[in-house]
Amino acid sequence: MSDLTTIARPYAKAAYGYASDNGAVEKWSEMLAFAKEMSAAKELKAAALSYSQRN
């Protein structure tokens, strides 16, 4: 899991920097919360796994 954290850190910093520079931290937070909810949806997990197995 620490590898995923290490990989994600620069992207998270860049996203936060962009949001902060553009006065959109709250909007980005809302979008990330929505993405988190969608990633937990069983139907989307199944579709993603099916797609990755075909490609």
* 18: nearest Cα among 32, 4, 6: 32
Per-residue pLDDT of 12-28, as tens digits, reads 999 999 999 999 999 99
* Gap between the Cα atoms of 2 and 24, Å rounded: 28
What is the reported pTM? 0.60
CA dist., res. 29 & res. 38, Å (int): 14
Kindly report, residue by residue over 42-51, the tens digit of the pLDDT: 888 888 888 8
